[in-house]
Structure 1
Amino acid sequence: MASFSSSFVLSQNLFFFSLFCFFLLASADLSATFYASSCPKALSTIQTTVKAAVAKEKRMGASLLRLHFHDCFVNACDASILLDDTSSFTGEKTATPNAGSLRGYEVIDTIKSQVESVCPNVVSCADIIAVAARHSVVTLGGPSWTVQLGRRDSTTASLSAANSDIPGPTLSLSDLISAFSKKGLNAKEMVALSGAHTIGQASCATFRTRIYNDTNIDSDFATSLQSKCPSTGSDDNLSPLDKTSPTYFDVSYYRNLIIDEGLLHSDQELFNGGSTDSQVEKYWSSSTTFFTDFSNAMVKMGNISPLTGSNGEIRTNCRKTNS
């Protein structure tokens, strides 16, 4: 009888321990309704600020979307990209892919301040970036998707990872596929996510080599760019990534690739006689297909190694850690 009682108690304890572990793990998962009770006005607050910022400057939509990409490609979607350098800490803002090109930090600051006034110490900077990216795309005419929420903010950043992991503008197709694969994203998702270049601009320094040296570029297109981007100097001069509709989220980016008018070398690599040519053609012929694949890929990218549960923190100031 004593043996049965002990076994029953042990089994009962194991059951409740397993149940506890289940709920612990479940609480660490991202959820679309994560702030439904703790901060029900969070998403509408972010949306209002993003719409105002993009209305003031349409390029800001592309900038906020790019912040999300560059954040997720370095260790995780953890808002490490927002951390400022200090006397004892070097963040990611000065990394080669980020320095002088990433923008929108002030918009994130404004959103954070407004969200904090509604519900202090609840909404992470990492979630703000993810939601701001979604609203930026929607505001510029693109698709919406369900953003999974519940990320927490990192307490550190990695300059070296920012320099090594963010795909550069001179990569070959095989290198692009490899860079995305390391983040758990396949070639199809890579082509879909590259469609983000249907909005925004790039600096002369990122496409100079292409317009003077590449052979798979329309000659008139190259000539028109050379007037803005001489062979030396003027590194910061900007040109649209999509010459047709740079402030509208559509499929013209893919059409540009088909006629050899991709701005970056890495863009044109998606349509250069390789394995992704058919995917480019499919997106150009169907905006519905592109929008669906882009949305799904954004959700998957946003789920790259998030900090959840008791990991990380909820920063009160997105530019610095709490302690």
Structure 2
Amino acid sequence: MASIMSTVTLSSILLIVLLSSSAANAQLSANFYANSCPNLQTIVRNGMIQAVNRERRIGASILRLFFHDCFVNGCDASILLDDTATFTGEKNAAPNRNSARGYEVIDTIKSNVEAACNATVSCADILALAARSGVVLIGGPSWQVLLGRRDARTASQSAANSQIPSPFANLPALISSFAAKGLNARDLTALSGGHTIGFARCTTFRSRIYNDTNIDTNFAATRRANCPASGGDNNLAPLDTLTPGRFGNNYYRDLVAQRGLLHSDQELFNGGSTDALVRTYSNNPTTFSADFAAAMVRMGNISPLTGTGGEIRRNCRVLN
């Protein structure tokens, strides 16, 4: 498939990524559960196959859960925690409320993992593996998921509100928010390609289709038909106009044609420093797949809890 890079090329890129990982992240390992839960990856993959077969969109939803988890105090499964008497969690933060989904898929996979390997595998690692499987199942590239994360014992709604990039952000703000997580502008541009799959709510793109000037007029008119100036906040539109259910590089072709759905999407191709990279990805799906895979490895390495940090939750929604 043209949209999938060669194994040799991807392996070479990931080797460079892994060699450049920080000492803190060196505690993660691809074979962390080789002895303690050898069937882990098969269990997660089978769970995602069932979920994607029921609803193809869930691949995008699980990828988004992983992204939103990692951007709030690291990849620690804090997004999966329900509120408690001692903290208000991330599920009802503005970026997640009414839009984050797929929690029940992770619950089911976790139950299956617990049945095979009791109190062994973290929810954070399950979410990381599920995100990769979701992408692969809808036509995207694979990558090596490093394992050994532990689960947070708290969550922060305020951190989720402030640390997850906004769909209304401009390019400098996006670059800054990614830099705060150790990711550069290339990572930003590649990871934004996750919007090649999935949908967005009217409330997240209304201001763009009514107010932005860097937008194709026919595209804006089409989107206004399902997103009125008032009301219809939960009406959905595809983030990729051409192939919203299949992973590929058409998202970048939309940006070049000024058909990015979110303001933050179109900011990647709006006369700024990421324009050239967007053009490259729009013309070269192999380069996009390689960069996306490498960026997913880097994002998965954001501030993991390891060793004796955190815990291994038995239920991803609650503390032990």
1:85 equivalenced with 2:77 (yes/no): no
**Superposed, which structure 2 residues align to 1:7-18 within 5 Å?**
none
Aligned match for 1:303, one of 294, 301, 304: 301
Q: TM-score, normalised by structure 2?
A: 0.92
Q: What is the CA-CA distance between 1:28 and the residue it aligns to?
A: 7.0
Q: Distance in 2 between matches of 1:294 and 1:185?
A: 12
Q: Retained in 2: the 8 A contact 1:124–1:153? A: yes
Q: Retained in 2: the 8 A contact 1:153–1:313? A: yes
Alignment-derived partner of residue 21 in structure 1: none
Alignment-derived partner of residue 193 in structure 1: 191
**Superposed, which structure 2 residues align to 1:169-248 within 5 Å?**
169-248=167-246
**Superposed, which structure 2 residues align to 1:248-263 within 5 Å?**
248-263=246-261
Larger RCO, structure (CA 8 Å, separation 6 or more): 2
1:58 equivalenced with 2:68 (yes/no): no
Aligned match for 2:132, one of 121, 131, 134: 134
Q: Distance in 2 between matches of 1:169 and 1:26?
A: 31
Q: Distance in 1 between matches of 2:318 and 2:186?
A: 36
Question: Which runs of 5 or more structure 2 residues have no equivalent in the other structure?
Answer: 1-22
Q: Which moved more, 1:28-37 or 1:297-306?
A: 28-37
Q: What is the CA-CA distance between 1:89 and the residue it aligns to?
A: 2.7
Alignment-derived partner of residue 116 in structure 2: 118
Q: What is the CA-CA distance between 1:88 and the residue it aligns to?
A: 3.5
The aligned amino acid for 1:131 is L
Aligned-residue Cα RMSD (Å) equals: 1.1
Q: What is the CA-CA distance between 1:74 and the residue it aligns to?
A: 0.1
Aligned match for 1:156, one of 146, 154, 157: 154
Percent of aligned pairs sharing the same letter:
63
The aligned amino acid for 1:64 is I
Aligned match for 1:68, one of 42, 53, 66: 66
Q: What is the CA-CA distance between 1:90 and the residue it aligns to?
A: 1.1
Q: What is the CA-CA distance between 1:37 and the residue it aligns to?
A: 0.4
Q: Distance in 2 between matches of 1:194 and 1:316?
A: 32
Q: Distance in 2 between matches of 1:216 and 1:260?
A: 6
Q: Retained in 1: the 8 A contact 2:25–2:304? A: no
- CA gap of 1:295–1:233, structure 2 versus 1, over 3 A, is same
Q: Distance in 2 between matches of 1:259 and 1:78?
A: 37
Q: Retained in 1: the 8 A contact 2:87–2:156? A: no
Alignment-derived partner of residue 46 in structure 1: 44
Q: Retained in 2: the 8 A contact 1:28–1:308? A: no
Instruction: Give the total of aligned pairs.
Output: 298
Question: Which runs of 5 or more structure 1 residues have no equivalent in the other structure?
Answer: 1-24
Q: Distance in 2 between matches of 1:157 and 1:261?
A: 36
Q: Retained in 1: the 8 A contact 2:72–2:163? A: yes
SS of 2:308 mapped into structure 1: coil
Q: What is the CA-CA distance between 1:51 and the residue it aligns to?
A: 1.0
- CA gap of 1:158–1:27, structure 2 versus 1, over 3 A, is closer
Q: What is the CA-CA distance between 1:27 and the residue it aligns to?
A: 10
SS of 2:28 mapped into structure 1: coil
Alignment-derived partner of residue 265 in structure 1: 263
Q: What is the CA-CA distance between 1:121 and the residue it aligns to?
A: 0.4
Q: What is the CA-CA distance between 1:124 and the residue it aligns to?
A: 0.3
Alignment-derived partner of residue 22 in structure 1: none
- CA gap of 1:28–1:277, structure 2 versus 1, over 3 A, is closer
Alignment-derived partner of residue 14 in structure 1: none
Q: What is the CA-CA distance between 1:55 and the residue it aligns to?
A: 1.0
Q: Retained in 2: the 8 A contact 1:27–1:309? A: no
SS of 1:239 mapped into structure 2: strand
Q: Retained in 1: the 8 A contact 2:25–2:301? A: no
1:278 equivalenced with 2:272 (yes/no): no
Alignment-derived partner of residue 12 in structure 2: none
Q: Distance in 2 between matches of 1:215 and 1:203?
A: 20
Report Cα offsets for 1:116-175 as digits up to 9, x if no partner. 000100000000000000000000000000000000000001111100000011100010
Q: Distance in 2 between matches of 1:236 and 1:266?
A: 19
